[in-house]
Structure 1
Amino acid sequence: MEKISRDCSASPQDVFEVLADGWLYASWVVGAARIRAVDAAWPLTGSRIHHSIGPWPLLLDDETVVRQYDPPRLVVLQAKGWPVGEAEVRIEATARPGGCTVTIAEDVIAGPGKFIPKPLRQLMIGWRNTETLRRLVLMAEGRAVAARPT
């Protein structure tokens, strides 16, 4: 899996507060159009977000499942988007002075998307995840600023 990283002025905890709010998923995940439901246990391992992907009116309903949750360090998601397939997505936040570095890595694990040659597949995923990561970092930074005492 190709990794994409971005420095963030917020803490790993701030990043994981965004990740922990399942209703925000469509705000930072490129391609997610809307959230239909979020399991009460989100983001604990095994919990799900029920989302729709794609442009309206050609929306496809599917889900994302948490496979591993170790806040504020790592979350591993299984994102489903049939008929294209399923992907494993790893998001890590590593503390550094003045904030953290957020890294996202993704690859297809099932479905027709596996037949796309890996270099081309990773190029397409990389473009999308560059914007996904930008959105996630902006949300975490905005949340951190809003939480600071005045």
Structure 2
Amino acid sequence: MATNTRAMDCTPDDVFRVLANGWLYPTWVVGASRMRDVDAAWPGRGAELHHSFGVWPFLLDDTTQMKEWDPPHRAVLRARGWPVGEATVTIRARRQGSGCVVRIDEDPVKGPATLIPRFLTTPMLRWRNVETLNRLAFLAEAGA
């Protein structure tokens, strides 16, 4: 499992406002390139985001499903990115001083990515999620 944390100059509520807006997903998730649809029940348990990942003209359509939604503390998503596979992504936020600390855990759970040794996948996921948390911070701190 790859784990990253980042201090942010905003509240956990600000972070979860960004997460609750499914249309913002490709602005903070590295690799997601566009939204196709957001279930009306988002961010409720079982609701899905319909997105594409990759770079045009090599785009693949897939979905991300909300497994747990406990704002402003915890969200658990099942991110799909076939043919690579699926991952469980857990995002937690907790107050720290006048801001907060956000932690993201990503664990490949299904598909070819699970066949790659962790010592190879973990650094790649951590590298990508540094930028994911940077983008999430820009949106949350700006009040998006």
TM-score bin (small chain): over 0.9
2:69 paired with 1:74? no
Equivalent residue, structure 1, for 2:7 = 7
User: Alignment length, in residue pairs?
Assistant: 144
Q: Mark the structure with the bigger radius of gyration.
A: 1
TM-score (norm 1): 0.94
Q: Deviations over 1:5-36 (max 9, x none)?
A: 00011000000000000000000000000000
1:90, distance to aligned residue in structure 2 (A): 0.5
Distance 2:28 2:80 in 1: 16
Distance 2:101 2:136 in 1: 12
Partner SS state of residue 43, structure 1 = coil
Alignment of 1:40-119 (within 5 A): 40-119=40-119
Distance 2:139 2:13 in 1: 12
RMSD: 0.8
Q: Deviations over 1:87-135 (max 9, x none)?
A: 0000000111111000001011000011111011011101110000110
Q: Give 4+ residue runs of structure 1 displaced > 4 Å after superposition.
A: none
Distance 1:143 1:112 in 2: 37
**Identity between Structure 1 and Structure 2 (%):** 53
Partner SS state of residue 62, structure 1 = strand
TM-score (norm 2): 0.98
Distance 1:21 1:79 in 2: 16
